[in-house]
Chain A
């Protein structure tokens, strides 16, 4: 049950976000920044994935030496055999790759939004049998120690958010979502995945305070709170239709990665044949439209056209279709 926002409010909010983004785009030019780089790499759930992730990190010249890296997969439901959760093999491959790249430590952390027993969920999703010493490496973000933070951007109007110290203290936060459609915001990718950093131990299951404050607005605020991020999207088998839980498996065979989650998510949308400019949280979070415009992103690896795979959309989101 999501009594707020209503669909009408969501549409109104999205329109407002669009206007706001348009205003920002026409305002004074921001200081020039290097265009975001996004890589699309073909991949499969097998041993080759370890080498694939190492190559991705090398391709982005990520310097993680001495940093504490926190990997944040997307764990949602107990449904063995479905494609709801980020595949544990990709998470383990990232774990190994960041350690090999010189990270001082790598933790795996998640705070699911519906189920309270996170470790049982991780076990059902195959994390215990895929990742050695998983329980020692894992932090349940719903139950971690917290610090209160004032969101800098204030899209949501939330004056204070309690957030987990594990994530706030990370040298690099790596968002590792599944490539999925989402029945409330259109697509759930590396930015929406940050909802899992909001502690259920404070806000409950679901994290209803975020729904009342506006989902796109909260996603944009969370994006601004965490300064050092990287995104690795599991698009090997995604989910389309009535995602993020009850949709259908959608094989795409790729991993999408980059240091700017806005650019990564916009690229994923284009792969899914969704118009990123119609995703409310992307418009809110983009301080410059070039951050989500195709021509503003340095694309490496496969081209979007080569891997484009139309994701089925529920009737309410047909208007998001690209082209």
Chain B
């Protein structure tokens, strides 16, 4: 199936960039929809603004991100939270040119030093002492948690893979490559029976659970270039989701996941009537549309 980025086209949902700028908080960051600034929507808004050539607003966003960076090299989910979390990978996706080489390098190191708790030696030892068996893949293929000292899950693992894969293309490193490959195995071991992914528990307590469109799209994006039966089943599920889904958030990630595997229909236009209610939804729509036109901030 041809890729959608073969020819530039007008965005299906042209975003009033002025509205995005108007939602910027005084401190330079963005809320998810209203209230204080959070790291995640700020990263997506910065991406969208750079793509739209609105550098001044984007720079204020970058300054806010710089102001909340933590000493351990990671980023908190919002100002005033003394915890570095998965959003560090999102900031790293902006690259050294945007956030500065030293902070970028420390963010990469933070990601390399963070794993799901189930992959740690201490956890394995504890389970062994309790007489519990743990899947050997948990230790061989670590993913990433939402917050340190928790288990690995699909979304933070996928975003960390995207950031480290980008770093590996910028500056190849066996250490980075190893974590990316292990993270991809983590994802492949957590697919739902029907194909695709949910939050990361495909059979809680042995009962099969259903995949979600948004996590399926994101995990597929993290598995760019990977060929496997799990990916094939996930792609089939993603195409079903694309036809049925009415969530703007899910639609953004499905477009991303299908596009990187060459499965997004050429000239694809999301159905009308989707509600773009949050900063991430509106910003990512712009980012994905630009990517479909050949300007992929998650990749290049």
Contact = CB atoms under 8 A, between A and B. Distances in A.
Interface in B188-220: 190, 198-202, 204-205, 207, 209, 212, 214
Contacts, number: 115
A140 B280 CA distance: 14
A62 interface: no
A208 B132 contact: no
B104 interface: no
Contacts of B101: none
B247 A117 contact: yes
Interface string A217-260: 00000000000000000000000001001100000000000000
A54 B33 CA distance: 33
Given A8-B130, A117-B249, A202-B77, A183 B212 contact: no
Residue among B138, B198, B204 with the highest chain A CB neighbour number at 10 A = B204
A144 interface: yes
A143 B32 contact: yes
Given A3-B123, A202-B77, A209 B150 contact: yes
A114 B154 CA distance: 11
Given A205-B146, A212-B150, A245 B209 contact: yes
A205 B199 contact: yes
A137 to B, nearest CB: 13
A140 B32 contact: yes
A162 B81 contact: yes
Contacts of A145: 35-36
A314 B32 CA distance: 39
A303 interface: no
Interface in A70-118: 114-117
B151 A208 contact: yes
A6 interface: yes
A205 B190 contact: no
B81 A143 contact: no
Interface string A1-44: 11110101100000000000000000000000000000000000
Interface string B132-149: 101000100000011101
B81 A242 contact: no
| B-side interface size class | 35 or more
Nearest to B152: A1
Contacts of B179: none
B151 A203 contact: no
A174 interface: no
Given A119-B275, A143-B35, A145-B36, A204 B130 contact: no
Contacts of B80: 146
A206 interface: yes
A1 B200 contact: yes
B151 A1 contact: yes
A209 B81 contact: no
A202 B36 CA distance: 13
Interface string A35-74: 0000000000000000000000000000000000000000
Nearest to B246: A120
A96 B78 CA distance: 35
A188 to B, nearest CB: 14
Contacts of B156: 204
Nearest to B37: A145
B56 interface: no
Contact of B150 (A115, A183, A208, A316): A208
B199 A206 contact: yes
A201 interface: yes
B290 interface: no
Interface in B79-128: 80-81, 83, 85-86, 117-118, 123, 127
Contacts of B149: 212
A6 B132 contact: yes
A135 interface: yes
Pick from A2, A3, A116 the residue with the most CB of B within 10 Å.
Answer: A3
Given A120-B250, A135-B277, A183 B35 contact: no
Given A117-B247, A203-B146, A204-B145, A9 B204 contact: no
A146 B207 CA distance: 35
B33 A143 contact: yes
Contact of A183 (B85, B155, B204, B246): B204
B50 interface: no
Given A6-B130, A114-B199, A120-B250, 12 more contacts: A2-B151, A3-B134, A6-B127, A114-B198, A145-B35, A201-B40, A202-B78, A202-B81, A204-B153, A205-B146, A208-B153, A212-B149
Interface of B: 31-33, 35-36, 38, 40, 77-78, 80-81, 83, 85-86, 117-118, 123, 127, 130-132, 134, 138, 145-147, 149-151, 153, 155-156, 190, 198-202, 204-205, 207, 209, 212, 214, 246-250, 275, 277-278, 281
List 3 A-B pairs, minimum CB-CB distance, nearest first.
A204-B146, A1-B201, A120-B247
